[in-house]
Amino acid sequence: MSDFAFQMHQVAKQYPHFQLQNIDLQLPNGGIMGLIGPNGAGKSTLIRILMGLIAADKGTTEVLGHNMPNHQALAKVNIGFVSEDMRLYKNATLQWHMDFIQRIYPEQWNQKYAVSLLSKFDLISEQKIKGMSHGQRVKSSILLMLARQPKLLIFDEPTTGLDPVARKEVLNEMMVVLNDEDRSILFSSHNTQDVEQLSDQITFIDRGEIVSSDDKESFIENWRRIRLHADSPLTISVDQHVKEVINQGRNTTLIMHQFNESMLRQWTQQGAVVKGVEYMSLEEIFVAEVEAKRSGVAA
Amino acid sequence: MSRITKTLILKDIKLNLSPIILYLLLGIFSLWLLTSSQLGVFNTGAVILISMVIISGIHMITTTVTTERNDQVLPFVMSLPISFVQYTHAKICANFAVFLSFWLILLVGLMWVIFGQPQVPDGMAIFTLILMLEMLVMFTLLLSVALVSESQNITVVVMSITNIGLSLFMFWLSGFEAINSFMQTEQVVWNSTAITFVAVELLLVVVLLALTYLIQARKKDFI
Protein backbone atom coordinates (compact mmCIF):
# COMPACT_ATOMS: atom_id res chain seq x y z
CA MET A 1 0.00 0.00 0.00
CA SER A 2 1.39 3.38 -1.03
CA ASP A 3 1.97 6.12 1.57
CA PHE A 4 0.38 8.58 -0.81
CA ALA A 5 -3.21 9.07 -1.83
CA PHE A 6 -1.87 10.25 -5.16
CA GLN A 7 1.44 11.02 -6.83
CA MET A 8 1.95 12.91 -10.08
CA HIS A 9 5.41 12.97 -11.61
CA GLN A 10 6.31 15.27 -14.50
CA VAL A 11 2.77 15.16 -15.83
CA ALA A 12 2.06 17.20 -18.95
CA LYS A 13 -0.95 17.64 -21.19
CA GLN A 14 -1.04 19.75 -24.32
CA TYR A 15 -4.13 21.40 -25.81
CA PRO A 16 -4.21 23.86 -28.72
CA HIS A 17 -4.53 26.89 -26.44
CA PHE A 18 -3.49 25.53 -23.05
CA GLN A 19 -0.87 23.28 -21.60
CA LEU A 20 -0.44 21.65 -18.25
CA GLN A 21 3.26 21.27 -17.73
CA ASN A 22 5.69 19.43 -15.47
CA ILE A 23 3.26 18.73 -12.68
CA ASP A 24 4.95 17.17 -9.66
CA LEU A 25 2.43 16.79 -6.88
CA GLN A 26 1.69 14.35 -4.12
CA LEU A 27 -0.74 14.03 -1.26
CA PRO A 28 0.10 11.82 1.75
CA ASN A 29 -2.61 9.46 2.98
CA GLY A 30 -4.92 11.33 5.32
CA GLY A 31 -3.86 14.72 3.93
CA ILE A 32 -6.16 17.52 2.87
CA MET A 33 -4.91 19.52 -0.07
CA GLY A 34 -6.50 22.69 -1.34
CA LEU A 35 -5.85 23.43 -4.99
CA ILE A 36 -6.17 27.14 -5.69
CA GLY A 37 -6.00 28.78 -9.07
CA PRO A 38 -7.81 31.35 -11.19
CA ASN A 39 -10.31 30.22 -13.81
CA GLY A 40 -8.53 28.41 -16.61
CA ALA A 41 -5.43 27.73 -14.49
CA GLY A 42 -5.62 23.97 -15.09
CA LYS A 43 -7.26 22.78 -11.86
CA SER A 44 -9.96 20.75 -13.63
CA THR A 45 -7.51 19.30 -16.15
CA LEU A 46 -5.23 18.20 -13.31
CA ILE A 47 -8.17 16.66 -11.44
CA ARG A 48 -9.43 14.90 -14.57
CA ILE A 49 -6.00 13.36 -15.07
CA LEU A 50 -6.13 12.18 -11.45
CA MET A 51 -9.57 10.67 -12.06
CA GLY A 52 -8.36 8.90 -15.21
CA LEU A 53 -10.81 10.89 -17.34
CA ILE A 54 -7.97 12.37 -19.38
CA ALA A 55 -4.75 10.60 -20.31
CA ALA A 56 -1.65 12.76 -19.83
CA ASP A 57 0.74 13.16 -22.76
CA LYS A 58 3.76 12.69 -20.47
CA GLY A 59 4.58 11.67 -16.92
CA THR A 60 3.07 9.20 -14.50
CA THR A 61 0.02 9.42 -12.26
CA GLU A 62 -0.67 6.99 -9.45
CA VAL A 63 -3.84 7.17 -7.36
CA LEU A 64 -4.32 4.93 -4.30
CA GLY A 65 -1.49 2.79 -5.65
CA HIS A 66 -3.07 2.38 -9.10
CA ASN A 67 -1.61 3.69 -12.34
CA MET A 68 -3.93 6.15 -14.10
CA PRO A 69 -5.70 6.01 -16.47
CA ASN A 70 -4.92 2.33 -17.16
CA HIS A 71 -6.23 1.05 -13.84
CA GLN A 72 -8.87 3.69 -13.27
CA ALA A 73 -11.67 1.17 -12.70
CA LEU A 74 -9.81 -0.27 -9.71
CA ALA A 75 -8.74 3.11 -8.36
CA LYS A 76 -12.22 4.63 -8.63
CA VAL A 77 -13.67 2.00 -6.29
CA ASN A 78 -12.20 4.13 -3.53
CA ILE A 79 -12.38 7.59 -5.06
CA GLY A 80 -15.32 9.91 -4.58
CA PHE A 81 -15.60 12.71 -7.11
CA VAL A 82 -17.83 15.76 -7.20
CA SER A 83 -17.34 18.60 -9.63
CA GLU A 84 -19.18 21.83 -10.20
CA ASP A 85 -20.08 20.78 -13.76
CA MET A 86 -21.31 17.32 -12.75
CA ARG A 87 -25.04 16.69 -13.08
CA LEU A 88 -27.30 13.82 -12.08
CA TYR A 89 -30.13 12.29 -14.15
CA LYS A 90 -32.69 15.08 -14.18
CA ASN A 91 -35.75 12.86 -14.65
CA ALA A 92 -34.84 10.53 -11.78
CA THR A 93 -35.30 11.13 -8.06
CA LEU A 94 -32.54 11.36 -5.48
CA GLN A 95 -33.79 8.04 -4.05
CA TRP A 96 -33.32 6.44 -7.48
CA HIS A 97 -29.73 7.72 -7.50
CA MET A 98 -29.17 6.43 -3.95
CA ASP A 99 -30.42 2.97 -4.96
CA PHE A 100 -28.24 3.07 -8.07
CA ILE A 101 -25.07 3.98 -6.15
CA GLN A 102 -25.91 1.35 -3.53
CA ARG A 103 -26.03 -1.28 -6.30
CA ILE A 104 -22.65 -0.11 -7.61
CA TYR A 105 -21.03 -0.08 -4.15
CA PRO A 106 -23.05 -2.63 -2.11
CA GLU A 107 -20.31 -3.16 0.49
CA GLN A 108 -19.28 0.47 0.93
CA TRP A 109 -22.73 2.11 0.98
CA ASN A 110 -23.75 3.29 4.45
CA GLN A 111 -27.54 3.66 4.42
CA LYS A 112 -27.69 5.09 7.94
CA TYR A 113 -25.19 7.79 7.02
CA ALA A 114 -27.06 8.50 3.78
CA VAL A 115 -30.29 9.04 5.72
CA SER A 116 -28.54 11.32 8.20
CA LEU A 117 -27.07 13.35 5.31
CA LEU A 118 -30.54 13.69 3.79
CA SER A 119 -31.64 15.33 6.99
CA LYS A 120 -28.51 17.48 7.44
CA PHE A 121 -28.69 18.74 3.86
CA ASP A 122 -32.44 19.24 4.08
CA LEU A 123 -33.05 17.10 0.98
CA ILE A 124 -36.15 15.15 -0.03
CA SER A 125 -35.24 11.75 -1.42
CA GLU A 126 -38.39 11.46 -3.55
CA GLN A 127 -37.76 14.77 -5.29
CA LYS A 128 -36.69 14.66 -8.92
CA ILE A 129 -33.32 16.22 -9.68
CA LYS A 130 -34.84 18.59 -12.26
CA GLY A 131 -36.97 20.16 -9.52
CA MET A 132 -33.97 20.93 -7.32
CA SER A 133 -32.03 24.17 -6.96
CA HIS A 134 -28.33 24.24 -7.85
CA GLY A 135 -27.45 24.02 -4.16
CA GLN A 136 -29.69 20.98 -3.66
CA ARG A 137 -28.17 19.29 -6.72
CA VAL A 138 -24.63 19.84 -5.41
CA LYS A 139 -25.63 18.56 -1.96
CA SER A 140 -27.24 15.51 -3.58
CA SER A 141 -24.00 14.75 -5.46
CA ILE A 142 -22.02 15.14 -2.24
CA LEU A 143 -24.45 12.87 -0.37
CA LEU A 144 -24.07 10.15 -3.02
CA MET A 145 -20.31 10.47 -2.75
CA LEU A 146 -20.00 10.59 1.04
CA ALA A 147 -22.46 7.77 1.80
CA ARG A 148 -20.21 5.25 0.09
CA GLN A 149 -17.25 6.34 2.20
CA PRO A 150 -14.41 6.57 -0.33
CA LYS A 151 -10.78 6.75 0.80
CA LEU A 152 -9.94 9.67 -1.47
CA LEU A 153 -12.41 12.50 -1.98
CA ILE A 154 -11.90 14.84 -4.90
CA PHE A 155 -13.94 18.02 -5.03
CA ASP A 156 -13.64 20.24 -8.10
CA GLU A 157 -15.08 23.66 -7.23
CA PRO A 158 -17.97 22.18 -5.21
CA THR A 159 -19.03 25.45 -3.62
CA THR A 160 -19.18 27.47 -6.85
CA GLY A 161 -22.61 29.00 -7.33
CA LEU A 162 -23.91 28.00 -3.90
CA ASP A 163 -25.77 30.48 -1.71
CA PRO A 164 -24.11 31.20 1.68
CA VAL A 165 -26.38 28.79 3.60
CA ALA A 166 -25.83 25.86 1.21
CA ARG A 167 -22.10 26.66 1.11
CA LYS A 168 -21.89 26.52 4.92
CA GLU A 169 -23.82 23.22 5.02
CA VAL A 170 -21.47 21.68 2.45
CA LEU A 171 -18.33 22.97 4.16
CA ASN A 172 -19.56 21.82 7.59
CA GLU A 173 -20.12 18.30 6.30
CA MET A 174 -16.73 18.30 4.64
CA MET A 175 -15.19 19.28 7.98
CA VAL A 176 -16.94 16.33 9.63
CA VAL A 177 -15.40 14.04 7.01
CA LEU A 178 -12.00 15.54 7.75
CA ASN A 179 -12.15 14.09 11.26
CA ASP A 180 -11.61 10.67 9.70
CA GLU A 181 -7.83 10.67 9.47
CA ASP A 182 -7.72 7.77 7.04
CA ARG A 183 -9.41 9.74 4.34
CA SER A 184 -7.54 12.02 1.96
CA ILE A 185 -9.10 15.01 0.30
CA LEU A 186 -8.22 17.13 -2.72
CA PHE A 187 -10.32 20.23 -2.88
CA SER A 188 -10.06 22.70 -5.76
CA SER A 189 -11.50 26.17 -5.68
CA HIS A 190 -10.86 29.73 -6.69
CA ASN A 191 -12.44 30.69 -3.35
CA THR A 192 -9.45 30.86 -1.02
CA GLN A 193 -11.64 31.23 2.10
CA ASP A 194 -13.12 27.76 1.60
CA VAL A 195 -9.71 26.22 1.00
CA GLU A 196 -8.16 27.99 3.97
CA GLN A 197 -10.92 26.69 6.21
CA LEU A 198 -10.46 23.05 5.20
CA SER A 199 -6.97 22.36 3.96
CA ASP A 200 -3.72 21.58 5.71
CA GLN A 201 -1.72 21.59 2.51
CA ILE A 202 -2.13 24.17 -0.23
CA THR A 203 -1.10 24.15 -3.86
CA PHE A 204 -1.28 27.22 -6.08
CA ILE A 205 -1.66 26.64 -9.80
CA ASP A 206 -1.57 29.20 -12.58
CA ARG A 207 -1.37 28.97 -16.38
CA GLY A 208 -0.93 25.20 -16.25
CA GLU A 209 1.96 25.21 -13.80
CA ILE A 210 2.29 24.60 -10.09
CA VAL A 211 3.30 27.94 -8.60
CA SER A 212 3.99 26.55 -5.13
CA SER A 213 2.84 23.80 -2.81
CA ASP A 214 3.31 23.80 0.94
CA ASP A 215 1.47 23.39 4.22
CA LYS A 216 -0.93 26.18 5.14
CA GLU A 217 1.04 27.37 8.18
CA SER A 218 4.23 27.77 6.14
CA PHE A 219 2.44 29.93 3.61
CA ILE A 220 0.93 32.11 6.32
CA GLU A 221 4.24 32.30 8.21
CA ASN A 222 6.34 33.15 5.16
CA TRP A 223 4.38 36.15 3.94
CA ARG A 224 3.93 39.59 5.53
CA ARG A 225 2.56 42.96 4.56
CA ILE A 226 4.79 45.75 5.91
CA ARG A 227 3.41 49.27 6.18
CA LEU A 228 6.06 52.00 6.31
CA HIS A 229 5.84 55.75 6.70
CA ALA A 230 8.65 58.09 5.68
CA ASP A 231 8.92 61.85 5.16
CA SER A 232 11.20 61.40 2.16
CA PRO A 233 10.72 58.81 -0.60
CA LEU A 234 12.13 55.38 0.16
CA THR A 235 14.25 53.55 -2.39
CA ILE A 236 13.07 49.98 -2.17
CA SER A 237 13.18 47.64 -5.15
CA VAL A 238 11.68 44.25 -5.80
CA ASP A 239 14.04 41.43 -4.98
CA GLN A 240 14.15 37.90 -3.59
CA HIS A 241 12.18 38.94 -0.50
CA VAL A 242 10.37 42.13 -1.50
CA LYS A 243 7.76 40.96 -3.96
CA GLU A 244 5.80 44.15 -4.40
CA VAL A 245 6.23 47.81 -3.50
CA ILE A 246 3.16 50.05 -3.36
CA ASN A 247 3.91 53.75 -2.87
CA GLN A 248 1.10 56.06 -1.76
CA GLY A 249 2.65 59.46 -0.97
CA ARG A 250 4.56 59.13 2.28
CA ASN A 251 3.23 55.66 2.92
CA THR A 252 4.77 52.56 1.43
CA THR A 253 3.37 49.04 1.57
CA LEU A 254 5.63 46.07 0.96
CA ILE A 255 4.61 42.51 0.22
CA MET A 256 7.34 40.34 1.70
CA HIS A 257 8.28 36.70 1.29
CA GLN A 258 10.34 34.78 3.87
CA PHE A 259 10.19 37.76 6.16
CA ASN A 260 12.30 38.16 9.28
CA GLU A 261 12.49 41.06 11.72
CA SER A 262 16.07 42.00 10.80
CA MET A 263 14.85 43.10 7.37
CA LEU A 264 13.09 46.06 8.94
CA ARG A 265 16.40 47.60 10.00
CA GLN A 266 17.46 48.61 6.49
CA TRP A 267 14.33 50.75 6.11
CA THR A 268 14.36 52.27 9.56
CA GLN A 269 17.95 53.29 8.80
CA GLN A 270 16.57 55.18 5.78
CA GLY A 271 14.27 57.08 8.14
CA ALA A 272 11.13 54.99 7.75
CA VAL A 273 8.76 54.29 10.60
CA VAL A 274 7.26 50.83 10.70
CA LYS A 275 3.49 51.33 11.04
CA GLY A 276 2.59 47.68 10.86
CA VAL A 277 3.77 44.14 10.18
CA GLU A 278 0.71 42.13 9.21
CA TYR A 279 -0.07 38.55 8.32
CA MET A 280 -1.65 38.18 4.91
CA SER A 281 -4.78 36.29 4.00
CA LEU A 282 -4.44 33.22 1.83
CA GLU A 283 -6.05 35.12 -1.02
CA GLU A 284 -3.43 37.87 -0.78
CA ILE A 285 -0.66 35.26 -0.59
CA PHE A 286 -2.09 33.50 -3.63
CA VAL A 287 -2.19 36.74 -5.63
CA ALA A 288 1.35 37.61 -4.55
CA GLU A 289 2.63 34.14 -5.47
CA VAL A 290 0.97 34.24 -8.87
CA GLU A 291 2.15 37.77 -9.66
CA ALA A 292 5.68 36.89 -8.58
CA LYS A 293 5.60 33.83 -10.81
CA ARG A 294 4.18 35.75 -13.77
CA SER A 295 6.76 38.51 -13.45
CA GLY A 296 9.52 35.93 -13.23
CA VAL A 297 10.52 36.68 -9.64
CA ALA A 298 10.64 33.30 -7.95
CA ALA A 299 8.91 33.23 -4.57
CA MET B 1 -19.51 -9.02 -17.89
CA SER B 2 -18.88 -7.25 -14.59
CA ARG B 3 -21.61 -6.52 -12.04
CA ILE B 4 -21.10 -2.77 -12.53
CA THR B 5 -21.48 -3.03 -16.32
CA LYS B 6 -24.73 -4.96 -15.81
CA THR B 7 -25.95 -2.29 -13.37
CA LEU B 8 -25.18 0.43 -15.94
CA ILE B 9 -27.04 -1.49 -18.68
CA LEU B 10 -30.09 -1.97 -16.46
CA LYS B 11 -29.94 1.71 -15.48
CA ASP B 12 -30.21 2.83 -19.13
CA ILE B 13 -33.04 0.36 -19.83
CA LYS B 14 -35.02 1.36 -16.73
CA LEU B 15 -34.64 5.08 -17.45
CA ASN B 16 -36.15 4.56 -20.93
CA LEU B 17 -38.64 1.79 -20.25
CA SER B 18 -41.86 3.84 -20.53
CA PRO B 19 -41.27 5.32 -24.01
CA ILE B 20 -39.90 2.00 -25.29
CA ILE B 21 -43.06 0.17 -24.14
CA LEU B 22 -45.14 2.87 -25.87
CA TYR B 23 -43.21 2.39 -29.14
CA LEU B 24 -43.61 -1.39 -28.80
CA LEU B 25 -47.38 -1.09 -28.34
CA LEU B 26 -47.58 1.14 -31.41
CA GLY B 27 -45.44 -1.37 -33.30
CA ILE B 28 -47.77 -4.24 -32.35
CA PHE B 29 -50.74 -2.08 -33.36
CA SER B 30 -49.08 -1.54 -36.74
CA LEU B 31 -48.77 -5.35 -37.15
CA TRP B 32 -52.54 -5.60 -36.67
CA LEU B 33 -53.00 -2.93 -39.37
CA LEU B 34 -50.80 -5.01 -41.68
CA THR B 35 -53.32 -7.85 -41.51
CA SER B 36 -55.92 -5.63 -43.22
CA SER B 37 -56.94 -6.43 -46.73
CA GLN B 38 -57.41 -2.72 -47.48
CA LEU B 39 -54.30 -1.28 -49.14
CA GLY B 40 -54.55 2.09 -47.34
CA VAL B 41 -54.69 0.50 -43.91
CA PHE B 42 -51.87 -1.92 -44.84
CA ASN B 43 -49.66 0.98 -45.99
CA THR B 44 -50.43 2.94 -42.80
CA GLY B 45 -49.37 -0.09 -40.77
CA ALA B 46 -46.12 -0.37 -42.76
CA VAL B 47 -45.30 3.33 -42.24
CA ILE B 48 -46.00 3.13 -38.48
CA LEU B 49 -43.95 -0.06 -38.15
CA ILE B 50 -40.90 1.36 -39.93
CA SER B 51 -41.24 4.60 -37.94
CA MET B 52 -41.39 2.75 -34.61
CA VAL B 53 -38.26 0.72 -35.38
CA ILE B 54 -36.39 3.90 -36.36
CA ILE B 55 -37.74 6.00 -33.47
CA SER B 56 -36.99 3.38 -30.81
CA GLY B 57 -33.37 3.25 -31.96
CA ILE B 58 -33.01 7.03 -32.16
CA HIS B 59 -34.65 7.48 -28.75
CA MET B 60 -32.25 5.08 -27.03
CA ILE B 61 -29.15 6.54 -28.69
CA THR B 62 -30.04 10.17 -28.01
CA THR B 63 -31.08 9.69 -24.38
CA THR B 64 -28.36 7.26 -23.33
CA VAL B 65 -25.43 8.71 -25.26
CA THR B 66 -25.75 12.25 -26.61
CA THR B 67 -28.19 13.73 -24.06
CA GLU B 68 -26.24 12.17 -21.19
CA ARG B 69 -23.19 14.04 -22.44
CA ASN B 70 -25.05 17.30 -23.16
CA ASP B 71 -26.73 17.23 -19.77
CA GLN B 72 -23.29 16.85 -18.14
CA VAL B 73 -24.20 13.50 -16.55
CA LEU B 74 -21.13 11.87 -18.09
CA PRO B 75 -18.75 13.09 -15.31
CA PHE B 76 -21.08 11.39 -12.81
CA VAL B 77 -21.10 8.11 -14.76
CA MET B 78 -17.35 8.23 -15.36
CA SER B 79 -16.71 8.85 -11.67
CA LEU B 80 -17.94 5.29 -11.10
CA PRO B 81 -15.42 2.43 -11.07
CA ILE B 82 -15.42 1.79 -14.81
CA SER B 83 -13.00 2.36 -17.66
CA PHE B 84 -14.02 4.13 -20.86
CA VAL B 85 -14.11 0.81 -22.73
CA GLN B 86 -16.44 -0.61 -20.06
CA TYR B 87 -18.60 2.51 -20.43
CA THR B 88 -18.70 1.97 -24.21
CA HIS B 89 -19.51 -1.71 -23.71
CA ALA B 90 -22.38 -0.86 -21.32
CA LYS B 91 -23.82 1.67 -23.78
CA ILE B 92 -23.60 -0.75 -26.73
CA CYS B 93 -25.18 -3.58 -24.70
CA ALA B 94 -28.02 -1.40 -23.35
CA ASN B 95 -28.84 0.02 -26.77
CA PHE B 96 -28.63 -3.33 -28.53
CA ALA B 97 -30.63 -5.11 -25.81
CA VAL B 98 -33.53 -2.70 -26.26
CA PHE B 99 -33.32 -2.27 -30.01
CA LEU B 100 -32.75 -5.96 -30.81
CA SER B 101 -35.65 -7.04 -28.55
CA PHE B 102 -37.87 -4.52 -30.27
CA TRP B 103 -36.51 -5.41 -33.71
CA LEU B 104 -36.90 -9.18 -33.16
CA ILE B 105 -40.48 -8.88 -31.87
CA LEU B 106 -41.45 -6.83 -34.91
CA LEU B 107 -39.52 -9.10 -37.30
CA VAL B 108 -41.32 -12.16 -35.95
CA GLY B 109 -44.60 -10.24 -36.17
CA LEU B 110 -43.87 -9.28 -39.77
CA MET B 111 -43.09 -12.88 -40.70
CA TRP B 112 -46.34 -13.93 -39.02
CA VAL B 113 -48.21 -11.37 -41.15
CA ILE B 114 -46.40 -12.38 -44.37
CA PHE B 115 -46.82 -16.14 -43.93
CA GLY B 116 -50.16 -16.01 -42.09
CA GLN B 117 -52.12 -13.58 -44.26
CA PRO B 118 -53.20 -14.82 -47.68
CA GLN B 119 -53.30 -11.30 -49.16
CA VAL B 120 -49.59 -10.76 -48.37
CA PRO B 121 -47.33 -12.73 -50.73
CA ASP B 122 -44.74 -14.98 -49.03
CA GLY B 123 -42.11 -13.67 -51.43
CA MET B 124 -42.11 -10.40 -49.43
CA ALA B 125 -40.22 -12.21 -46.64
CA ILE B 126 -36.76 -11.79 -48.23
CA PHE B 127 -37.30 -8.10 -49.06
CA THR B 128 -38.63 -7.50 -45.54
CA LEU B 129 -35.72 -9.28 -43.85
CA ILE B 130 -33.15 -7.33 -45.89
CA LEU B 131 -34.96 -4.08 -45.08
CA MET B 132 -35.11 -4.88 -41.35
CA LEU B 133 -31.40 -5.77 -41.40
CA GLU B 134 -30.71 -2.45 -43.10
CA MET B 135 -32.43 -0.74 -40.17
CA LEU B 136 -30.17 -2.71 -37.81
CA VAL B 137 -27.12 -1.52 -39.77
CA MET B 138 -28.33 2.08 -39.61
CA PHE B 139 -28.97 1.78 -35.89
CA THR B 140 -25.44 0.39 -35.39
CA LEU B 141 -23.96 3.18 -37.52
CA LEU B 142 -25.85 5.83 -35.56
CA LEU B 143 -24.81 4.35 -32.21
CA SER B 144 -21.18 4.17 -33.34
CA VAL B 145 -21.22 7.77 -34.57
CA ALA B 146 -22.84 8.99 -31.32
CA LEU B 147 -20.27 7.18 -29.17
CA VAL B 148 -17.22 8.05 -31.24
CA SER B 149 -18.05 11.64 -32.27
CA GLU B 150 -19.46 12.61 -28.82
CA SER B 151 -21.40 15.25 -30.77
CA GLN B 152 -25.15 15.71 -30.92
CA ASN B 153 -24.85 17.78 -34.11
CA ILE B 154 -22.91 15.12 -35.98
CA THR B 155 -25.29 12.43 -34.71
CA VAL B 156 -28.33 14.41 -35.91
CA VAL B 157 -26.75 14.89 -39.37
CA VAL B 158 -26.02 11.15 -39.65
CA MET B 159 -29.54 10.42 -38.36
CA SER B 160 -31.05 12.53 -41.15
CA ILE B 161 -28.83 10.98 -43.80
CA THR B 162 -29.64 7.41 -42.69
CA ASN B 163 -33.38 8.14 -42.66
CA ILE B 164 -33.23 9.49 -46.22
CA GLY B 165 -30.89 6.62 -47.06
CA LEU B 166 -33.43 4.04 -45.91
CA SER B 167 -36.01 5.26 -48.46
CA LEU B 168 -33.36 5.27 -51.20
CA PHE B 169 -32.26 1.79 -50.11
CA MET B 170 -35.84 0.50 -50.46
CA PHE B 171 -36.01 1.79 -54.04
CA TRP B 172 -32.53 0.50 -54.82
CA LEU B 173 -33.29 -2.95 -53.35
CA SER B 174 -36.58 -3.31 -55.17
CA GLY B 175 -34.75 -2.45 -58.39
CA PHE B 176 -32.79 -5.71 -58.23
CA GLU B 177 -34.37 -8.23 -60.59
CA ALA B 178 -33.32 -11.11 -58.31
CA ILE B 179 -35.26 -9.55 -55.43
CA ASN B 180 -38.08 -7.78 -57.26
CA SER B 181 -39.19 -10.71 -59.38
CA PHE B 182 -40.10 -12.85 -56.33
CA MET B 183 -41.71 -10.16 -54.14
CA GLN B 184 -45.23 -10.67 -55.42
CA THR B 185 -45.02 -14.48 -55.61
CA GLU B 186 -45.65 -17.16 -53.03
CA GLN B 187 -42.07 -18.39 -53.35
CA VAL B 188 -39.33 -17.55 -50.82
CA VAL B 189 -36.20 -17.62 -52.93
CA TRP B 190 -32.78 -17.41 -51.29
CA ASN B 191 -30.73 -16.56 -54.36
CA SER B 192 -27.13 -15.29 -54.33
CA THR B 193 -28.27 -11.62 -54.42
CA ALA B 194 -30.43 -12.04 -51.31
CA ILE B 195 -27.71 -13.97 -49.48
CA THR B 196 -25.10 -11.33 -50.41
CA PHE B 197 -27.31 -8.53 -49.06
CA VAL B 198 -27.89 -10.34 -45.76
CA ALA B 199 -24.21 -11.28 -45.40
CA VAL B 200 -22.97 -7.75 -46.16
CA GLU B 201 -25.46 -6.24 -43.71
CA LEU B 202 -24.45 -8.59 -40.91
CA LEU B 203 -20.78 -7.98 -41.69
CA LEU B 204 -21.35 -4.22 -41.56
CA VAL B 205 -22.86 -4.52 -38.08
CA VAL B 206 -19.81 -6.48 -36.86
CA VAL B 207 -17.31 -4.11 -38.52
CA LEU B 208 -19.02 -1.00 -37.13
CA LEU B 209 -18.99 -2.43 -33.61
CA ALA B 210 -15.35 -3.51 -33.88
CA LEU B 211 -14.36 -0.05 -35.14
CA THR B 212 -16.26 1.61 -32.30
CA TYR B 213 -14.45 -0.44 -29.64
CA LEU B 214 -11.11 0.17 -31.37
CA ILE B 215 -11.53 3.95 -31.61
CA GLN B 216 -12.87 4.25 -28.05
CA ALA B 217 -9.96 2.22 -26.67
CA ARG B 218 -7.49 4.59 -28.34
CA LYS B 219 -9.07 7.81 -27.07
CA LYS B 220 -7.07 9.92 -24.64
CA ASP B 221 -9.78 12.30 -23.47
CA PHE B 222 -12.81 10.50 -22.13
CA ILE B 223 -14.89 13.44 -21.08
Write out pLDDT tens, residues A123-169: 999 999 999 998 899 999 999 999 999 999 999 988 887 888 888 88
User: Are the Cβ atoms of A73 and B86 closer than 8 angstroms?
Assistant: yes
Query: Can you list the residues of chain A whose pLDDT is less than 70?
Result: 1, 180-181, 296-299
Superfamily of domain A4-207: P-loop containing nucleotide triphosphate hydrolases (3.40.50.300)
CA angle A211, A161, A88 (to 5 degrees): 105
When the pLDDT of each residue in chain A is averaged and rounded to a whole number, the result is 89
Per-residue model confidence (pLDDT) at position A173 = 80
CA angle A175, A179, A185 (to 5 degrees): 65
Q: Tell me which residue in B71, B72, B220 faces A55 most closely, judged by beta carbons.
A: B220
- pLDDT value for A58: 94
* pLDDT for the residue A297: 55
pLDDT < 70 positions in chain B? none
Vertex B116, ends B186 and B110: CA angle to 5°? 90
pLDDT number for residue B87: 94
Handedness of CA B47, B49, B50, B52 (dihedral sign): positive
Question: Which amino acid, B41?
Answer: V
B222: nearest CB among A54, A81, A92? A54
Each domain of chain B, given as residue ranges in start order, spans 3-218
On whether the CB atoms of residues A189 and A48 are closer than 8 A, the answer is no
Contacts of B73 in chain A (CB under 8 A): 86-89
Residue A201 pairs in a beta bridge with A33, A215
Q: Where are the domains of chain A?
A: 4-207, 219-294
d(CA A70, CA A1): 18
Distance CA A105, CA A87 (A): 19
Tell me what pLDDT residue A1 has: 62
Nearest-CA distance A62 → chain B (Å): 16
Fill in the amino acid letter for B12: D
Task: Supply the angle between the helices B39-61 and B152-174 in degrees, to the nearest 10.
Answer: 150
Express each pLDDT in B167-214 by its tens digit: 899 999 999 999 999 888 998 989 999 999 999 999 999 999 999 999
